[in-house]
Amino acid sequence: MAIREIVTYPAPVLREKAVKIETFDDKLQELADDMIETMYHAQGVGLAGNQIGIARQIVVIDISNHEGEESKVQNIVIINPVISEGEGQIPDQEGCLSVVEYSAKVDRFQKIRVTAQDVEGNELDFIAQDHFARIIQHEVDHLHGTLFIDRISSLKRSLYKKKLKKILKNKRKGKE
Question: What positions carry a catalytic annotation?
Answer: 139
Residue 7 has φ and ψ, to the nearest 5°, of: -80, 140
Q: Count other Cβ atoms within 10 Å, centred on residue 70.
A: 6
- Whole-angstrom Cα distance, residue 128 to residue 36? 20
Beta-strand runs (E) in 64-117: 75-96, 99-117
- Whole-angstrom Cα distance, residue 9 to residue 59? 18
Residue 174 has φ and ψ, to the nearest 5°, of: -65, -30
Distance of CA 26 to the CA centre of its chain: 22
